[in-house]
Amino acid sequence: MARTLDEDELIEHWLLIGKEPDLLTGRTGPSKLALVLWLKFFAQHGRFPEGRSELPDEAVAFVAGQVKVPAAELGLFASSTCSTSSTATASPCASTTAPSPPWTSPPATRAPESCCPP
């Protein structure tokens, strides 16, 4: 069973500080929540989470409150903009949906980073 984070840990590791809120400009809903969770997890561990199970529920709820996005919407952030599937008929970058968090697609199905132009 995972350890519960206390309020001091949430504030120390998961509170948006300084200019971090500026990074959210133009983002809405689940992409805003996911971005903060990735950044804060990366700051603590030096890597991105491998799955949702690595993100403490308390941290997800705490961050969701800061960005004013329901924590349950994190699960909606699962559509990929790039696909290497052989059944794809359109350009892999034609989709307008938000990109997948790194833990929603197995590495074998993820497109190379050069897939989508900036």
Q: What is the pLDDT of residue 76?
A: 67
pTM of the model: 0.64
CA-to-CA distance for 16 and 66, rounded, in angstroms? 8
Does pLDDT of 44 surpass 60? yes
Q: What is the pLDDT of residue 13?
A: 96
Q: Do 92 and 42 meet the contact criterion of CB atoms below 8 Å apart?
A: no
Furthest C-alpha separation in the chain = 50
Q: Do 115 and 80 meet the contact criterion of CB atoms below 8 Å apart?
A: no
Residue 102 — pLDDT band, cuts 50, 70, 90? very low
Q: What is the pLDDT of residues 55-99, one digit of tens each?
A: 999 999 999 999 999 999 988 665 333 344 444 444 334 444 445
Mean per-residue pLDDT, 20-37 = 93
- What DSSP letter does each residue of the chain carry, written as one string? -PPPPPHHHHHHHH---TTGGGGGTT--HHHHHHHHHHHHHHHHHSS--SSGGGS-HHHHHHHHHHHT--GGGGGG----S----TT--S-TT---SPPPPTTSS-GGGSPPGGGS--
Q: What is the pLDDT of residue 108?
A: 46
Q: Do 55 and 88 meet the contact criterion of CB atoms below 8 Å apart?
A: no
